[in-house]
Structure 1
Amino acid sequence: MNIPKLQLESTKAQIGLTTQKPVQEIEQPKANLDLQQPQAKMSMETTKSQLSIDAVQARESLDLKSSMSRTAEVAQYSLQQAMEGVARRAEEGNELMRIENGGNPIADQAKRRGKQPYSSINIKFIPQADSVNINFQPGKVDIRVEPQKVINNTTINKPVHNYTPGKVKVELLQAPSLKIDWSV
């Protein structure tokens, strides 16, 4: 007995792909830089220093006195001598007035007036130490600085972006086929 046979012969389909790659271009232009820094505002106030030197006492110790000082000294000395003279004469007059108490007041007064008092010898350093008065007041400086803000007018540039998309081309290289054959 012959059984019929069925024969199948098939070929697969073949697809061909052709691709074109995408192209991407990115360019970043530099920013436009515009910066300005104004100068700071500065003000200064100064107070002058003061130096005072008072050498009047040192000059007087060297006997270089001003006419006003010399006049005042002579007036003071004259007043003192006059008062001492008045006191001495009043005392001598009281002694003479009491002559009845005894003694010899005229001889005693002559002895006292006839002797000169001895002057003491002293060493004196001139000008004396600390005879010059120095006074110093330092000056002051007040500095004020007011900074100014930066002026920023910088502009940024957007990136330049060019994009060409890729393409895919599909084509059928071989068509599918099916061949059926039977044999008895």
Structure 2
Amino acid sequence: MRIPQIQIQTIDAKIELEINKPQQSIEQPKATQTIEQPAAILEIRTTRGVLQIDSSQARRDIGMLGPLESSANYAEEGKQGALEGMARRASEGRQLMENAGKGQGRAIIQNIAKQNHGPHRVPFNIKFVPSVGSVRVDYTPGTTDINIERREPIIGAKVNKPIHDYTPGKVTSTMIQRPDVNIDVII
């Protein structure tokens, strides 16, 4: 006896896929930055130094006198000379008066002449001109005040957003062969 047989034939489905890949680009622009440094404020104040030199005593020591002082000195010397001359003549007159009649006669006048006109010794010594300390120097130093005002830098930074471009991918499918199932019964 024969048993019926089932014969099954299948045809697979065939699908064709067309794939377009996605495309992505990311670009990060640099940050925009500005830096500004304002100049510092600098103030300098100075006062001048004062130098005073007084050489009037040194000038007097070497004989350089002003006209007023010079004329006053000459007037004083003249006055002293006149007083000394009057005193000398009075002394000589007294000498003549006291010794007159004592038989000396001409000898008194000769003695007075010898006193006035003999060789006189001039004092000799070393003299330093001008004298030590005759020039006075006075100095008042000046001052310098410096004031600096620091100024902070001005920094500006702007972050730029990234540039993002994205094209999504696409998958397209096409059925090339349809699936099929054939069933036959063989007796």
Give the shorter-chain TM-score range: 0.5 to 0.7
Alignment partner, residue 101 of structure 1: none
CA deviations on 1:62-106 (whole Å, 9 max, x unpaired) are 1334529x86xx7xxx8xxxxxxxxxxxxxxxxxxxxxxxxxxxx
Identity between Structure 1 and Structure 2 (%)? 38
Q: Give the superposition deviation at 1:59.
A: 1.8
Alignment partner, residue 14 of structure 1: 14
Which of 163, 167, 170 matches 1:167? Answer: 170
Partner Cα separation in structure 2 for residue 6 and residue 130 of structure 1: 150
CA deviations on 1:115-147 (whole Å, 9 max, x unpaired) are 999654222232345543333333222121213
Which of 125, 128, 132 matches 2:128? Answer: 125
Q: 1:137 to 1:172 in 2, by over 3 A?
A: farther
Q: 1:8 to 1:135 in 2, by over 3 A?
A: farther
Alignment partner, residue 44 of structure 1: 44
Q: Give the superposition deviation at 1:46.
A: 1.0
Read off the aligned partner of 1:136 and give its amino acid letter: Y
Alignment partner, residue 62 of structure 2: 62
Q: Could you list the runs of 5+ residues in structure 2 that have no partner in the other structure?
A: 81-114
**TM-score normalized by the length of structure 2:** 0.52
Q: Could you list the runs of 5+ residues in structure 1 that have no partner in the other structure?
A: 79-112
Partner Cα separation in structure 2 for residue 117 and residue 13 of structure 1: 162
Q: Give the superposition deviation at 1:54.
A: 2.2
RMSD across aligned positions (CA): 4.2
Partner Cα separation in structure 1 for residue 6 and residue 133 of structure 2: 145
